[in-house]
Structure 1
Amino acid sequence: MACFEQALEIGCGFGNGIHLIREHFGAGRVTAVDIDPEMVAAAKGRWQRSPNGLKDVDFAIADATRLPFGDAQFDIVFNFAVFHHIPDWQMAIEEVARVLKPDGFFVVEDLYRAAICNPLSRRLFEHPQQNRFNHHELLAVLRQMGFLIVCERNAFNLAGMVLAQKTLRL
């Protein structure tokens, strides 16, 4: 039996995270979403050519702030450096809380304001510059949305990782 029956990856891009989710987290079924139809098509095409094909992998075009899934559908949700691209990242976290089952986990790995809002980054990459966050602001919003911070790491407030668990609100 899989460690996590239903996993969701938000912002799947080319589908690089799917293997990690399956191999290291033991996900039974992975649903991978991205707002960009070209990314979804590329990821799906890549996985169609893999040894197991599309077995236990679903793809969808979806906005992280309006996920097309029912409440409490997933055991674990992943954000691999995606939320810093989302203008209303707080709403995306609210959606994660909605689609996660009670006691489900949210794995966050992302870049922070200092990494994307400096002059060099602005010249090299296109990222939203308003309503960006740092490590402590991310933790505060996660707690506000009913998450327990299980583990967290902050790399010089440029990037960080968080493992959060959805708790029942009293």
Structure 2
Amino acid sequence: MCAAAVALLVVGCTAQPTTSGTSPGAPASRTTAFNATDTAWILLMIPMAERARQLTDLAPSRAADPAVATLAAKTGSTLREDLRRLRAALKLSGVPDTHPHEGHNMPGMVSLGTLDKAAVTKGRPFDQILTDALRAHFTQSRVLCAGEQNEGSAVEATGLAAAIARSAAQHISALETLRSM
């Protein structure tokens, strides 16, 4: 089953295709027609990025390795920008942010349990929690972004998916470099 289909199964029927800025019956412009894959992807990526960002925000007071703290700061900055762009795309789609994944734990999403554990952990054990969770987050993000690029229709969403996938690959590389140190 392709990643887009998996994402749609997770979201269900909450995200309906919309066309922003056109009248009913008018042909949809490629730049404004969001299909169910586009909106499902956006609605999934927002909570994934929010949870990963919450984890990176813990690093300054918990990380043992300065390189881990630096990586967390850079990652947090990237995630904030991703969130800004995802929310802008969601607004453009016309689909309300109903938080369909509130409280969910899905592959690649930093779990609430992981956040709780990280919040009470310091030093090398925290570093391990952070790097493991970020690796899983970015690996799954790349899978979801590939599904969006293959099945999405709005260029705003597919272009954003391509950018996030490139960024995720860079973050995975940085995590691997950190692991080899």
Pairwise TM-score range, normalised by the shorter structure? under 0.3
TM-score by length of 2: 0.23
- Name which one, 1 or 2, has greater alpha-carbon Rg: 2
Q: TM-score, normalised by structure 1?
A: 0.24
Structure with more contact order per residue of length (Cα contacts < 8 Å, sep ≥ 6): 2
Higher strand share: 1
